């Protein structure tokens, strides 16, 4: 669809000081005046503007338009949209008494937007690159953007086109690279988040290969789970980038800042599954790695999100653009990352995106039939079958440890948990001291719950990262917002950097361009 849609190669303004025009036509003026007289609040509902097709025969500008320009030279904006690819110029002619007295040409190159940047496909492994065939002039800097979770190849095209246009319109002259990766595994992808995290880790080396092959300055940008790919590429594979912009990052904050990891069993720790509140935290899978802290060569000691991407902070200058949500009474962040004061229920009816972060972490190990869960370790319990009655013989699943037994073992012999954990003892490959890196990543994705909010929720490590709250710092005048959702009010939600009109988000892009030196 994008291929067919043609957009302007460059937005431009014609300041016309015309003394004479041939004909008068009022439609255009009415439209322009209507738009100009509206307040920004009013323009949020798109006004109906008359449009006119410019053909080879030309279009006469209305006399009143010329009069308006004459009266105020700062006025006179004509918005032009390309409707087909062309390299023909746009020509302004001024006629007087049937005689052409002036002709000015504006060179144009109208092309599909996707030809203006490189499209990089990592969905099948190594980069398959479609270089842009109509690349705009660039300043030698590369900006590489990755979309997030649950974005298929078609949706990725939309993300990339929008990001390119918004950055370009904000003054970026950097060469844009839109990267597609497989963050949409499965038929009903929204239930396959953990698989997509595994995919993110697997994509990282390919991203590194592509980015390290670029010449010039390299600036990374990623939205949501795309940050898992980028962070792994930097921390695990030595991807070299000058700056890294994390946008609504769906990565545990503890991966960058271990201090945000909380092993408090208190009810205020909303990332602990409610069923585990009475178990001492030594029993948790998220703390299992601590049993092996004294053996650096034991891979089980590395099964934690804590500090997993610490290498990002030493490898590049990182910027954390997050969204806090705007209500004083619901300071838990945006729609995706807000946290409940209890474990969100299994199978909460759609839309499943609410409390998504908390669900995907607290439902690890809660069973593969749980739409937000997995069958690996996590908050599942190690259980065995016991005969409930002899005749007829019935069986029931019983936990390996009662609360009392687990807590007693934790107090007296915690190392017993190394082989016989309280949590679900699956997969078998987890219970050995040598775990291949790919399995370690998979274990983190499916079996080790984060004990911190997403990095895209709040300020993290302010001494090392620039943190910008888009919800408060990137809205236009007076916190103006083009949507007043019945449930979410005027909050800057997870994908609003793309979903909201540029009018409302332009401060974000201006900031990205300035900070990134784009």
Residues at the interface with other proteins (CB under 8 A): 257-259, 261, 274-275, 277-278, 293, 306-307, 310, 313-314, 317, 326-330, 340-342, 345-351, 354, 366-367, 369-370, 381, 397, 399, 402-403, 461-464, 466-469, 472-480, 484-490, 507, 511
Query: What minimum distance in Å lies between the beta carbon of 351 and other proteins?
Result: 5
Q: State the Cα–Cα distance between residues 227 and 353, nearest whole angstrom.
A: 18
Edge-first strand listing for the sheet containing 128-130: 128-130, 118-121, 175-180, 141-146, 217-223, 243-247, 317-322, 466-469
Nearer to other proteins, 156 or 219 (CB): 219
216: alpha, beta or left, given left = phi > 0 and alpha = psi -120 to 50?
Answer: left
Could you tell me which of 118, 106, 92 has the C-alpha nearest to residue 8? 106
Nearest distance from C-beta of residue 479 to other proteins, angstroms? 6
Residue 215 or 268 with smaller CB distance to other proteins: 268
For residues 376 and 361, what is the distance between their CA atoms, to the nearest angstrom? 12
Which helix (H) or strand (E) element contains residue 405?
helix 403-412
Work out how close the CB of 442 gets to other proteins at its nearest, in angstroms, rounded to a whole number.
23
Beta carbon of residue 130, minimum distance to other proteins (angstroms, whole number): 35
Task: Report how far residue 286's alpha carbon sits from residue 263's, in angstroms, rounded to the nearest whole number.
Answer: 8
Other CB atoms closer than 10 Å to residue 20's CB: what's the count?
12
Of 66 and 318, the one with the shorter C-beta distance to other proteins is 318
Distance of alpha carbon 440 from alpha carbon 87, whole angstroms: 53
Q: Pinpoint the alpha helices (H) of 300-397.
A: 310-315, 356-362
> What does the chain come to in residues?
518
C-beta of 168 vs 279, nearer to other proteins: 279
Shortest separation between residue 513's beta carbon and other proteins, angstroms? 12
Which residues, listed in sequence order, are joined to residue 91 by a DSSP beta bridge? 105
Q: What DSSP letter does each residue of 438-457 carry, written as one string?
A: HHHHHHHHHTS--SS-BGGG
Spatial distance between the Cα atoms of 114 and 299, rounded to a whole number of angstroms:
44
Rounded to the nearest whole angstrom, what is the least distance from the CB of residue 154 to other proteins in the complex?
24
Cβ proximity to other proteins: between 215 and 314 the closer is: 314
Question: What DSSP line would sit under 204-218, residue for residue?
Answer: HHHHHHHHHT--SEE
Min separation Cβ 275 and other proteins, Å: 5
Minimum CB distance to other proteins smaller for 199 or for 304: 304
Largest CA distance in the chain: 109
- To other proteins, the closest distance from the beta carbon of 329 in angstroms equals 5
Pick the closer one to other proteins by CB: 297 or 314: 314
Q: How far is the CB of 102 from other proteins (least distance, A)?
A: 34
Kindly tell me which of 33 and 466 has the beta carbon lying closer to other proteins. Answer: 466
Toward other proteins, which CB reaches closer, 199 or 471? 471
Instruction: Find the helix or strand (DSSP H, E) in which 509 lies.
Output: helix 502-516
């Amino acid at each position: 669809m994008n291929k067919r849609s043609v957009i302007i190669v460059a937005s431009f303004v014609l300041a016309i000081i015309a003394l004479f025009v041939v004909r008068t036509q009022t439609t255009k003026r009415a439209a322009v005046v209507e738009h100009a007289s509206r307040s920004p609040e009013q323009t949020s509902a798109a006004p109906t503007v008359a449009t006119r097709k410019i053909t080879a025969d030309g279009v006469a500008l209305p006399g009143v338009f010329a009069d308006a320009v004459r009266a105020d030279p700062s006025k006179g904006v004509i918005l032009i949209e390309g409707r087909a690819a062309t390299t023909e110029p746009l020509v302004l002619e001024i006629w007087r008494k049937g005689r052409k007295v002036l002709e000015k040409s504006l060179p144009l190159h109208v092309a599909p937007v996707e030809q203006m940047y490189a499209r990089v496909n990592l969905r099948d492994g190594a980069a398959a690159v479609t270089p842009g065939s109509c690349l705009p002039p660039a300043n030698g800097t590369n900006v590489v953007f990755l979309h997030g979770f649950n974005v298929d190849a078609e949706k990725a095209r939309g993300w990339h086109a929008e990001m390119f246009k918004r950055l370009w319109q904000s003054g970026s002259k950097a060469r844009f690279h839109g990267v597609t990766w497989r963050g949409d595994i499965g038929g009903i992808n929204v239930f396959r988040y953990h698989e997509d995290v595994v995919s993110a880790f697997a994509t990282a080396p390919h991203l590194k290969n592509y980015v390290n092959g670029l010449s010039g300055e390299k600036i990374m940008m990623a939205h949501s789970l795309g940050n898992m790919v980028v962070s792994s590429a930097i921390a695990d594979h030595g991807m070299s980038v000058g700056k890294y912009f994390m946008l609504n990052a769906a990565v545990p904050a503890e991966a960058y800042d271990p201090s945000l990891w909380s092993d408090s069993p208190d009810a205020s720790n909303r990332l602990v599954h409610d069923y585990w509140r009475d178990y001492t935290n030594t029993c948790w899978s998220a703390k299992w790695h601590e049993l092996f802290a004294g053996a650096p060569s034991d891979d089980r000691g590395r099964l934690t999100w804590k500090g997993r991407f610490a290498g990002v902070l030493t490898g590049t200058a990182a910027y954390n653009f997050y969204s806090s949500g705007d209500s004083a009474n619901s300071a838990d962040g945006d729609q995706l990352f807000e946290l409940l004061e209890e474990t969100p229920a299994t199978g909460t009816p759609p839309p499943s995106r609410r409390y998504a972060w908390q669900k995907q972490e607290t439902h690890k190990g809660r069973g593969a039939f749980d739409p937000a869960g997995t069958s690996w370790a996590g908050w599942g319990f190690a259980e065995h079958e016991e005969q409930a009655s002899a005749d007829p013989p019935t069986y029931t699943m019983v936990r390996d440890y009662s609360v009392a037994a687990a807590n007693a073992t934790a107090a007296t012999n915690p190392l017993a948990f190394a082989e016989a954990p309280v949590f679900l003892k699956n997969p078998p490959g987890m219970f050995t001291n040598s775990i291949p890196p790919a399995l370690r990543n998979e274990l983190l994705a499916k079996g080790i719950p984060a004990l911190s909010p997403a990095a895209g929720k709040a300020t993290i490590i302010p001494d090392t990262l620039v943190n910008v709250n888009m919800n408060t710092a990137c809205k236009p005048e007076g916190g103006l917002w083009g949507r007043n959702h019945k449930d979410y009010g005027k909050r800057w939600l997870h994908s609003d950097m793309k979903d909201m009109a540029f009018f409302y988000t332009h401060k974000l892009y201006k900031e990205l361009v300035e900070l990134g030196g784009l």
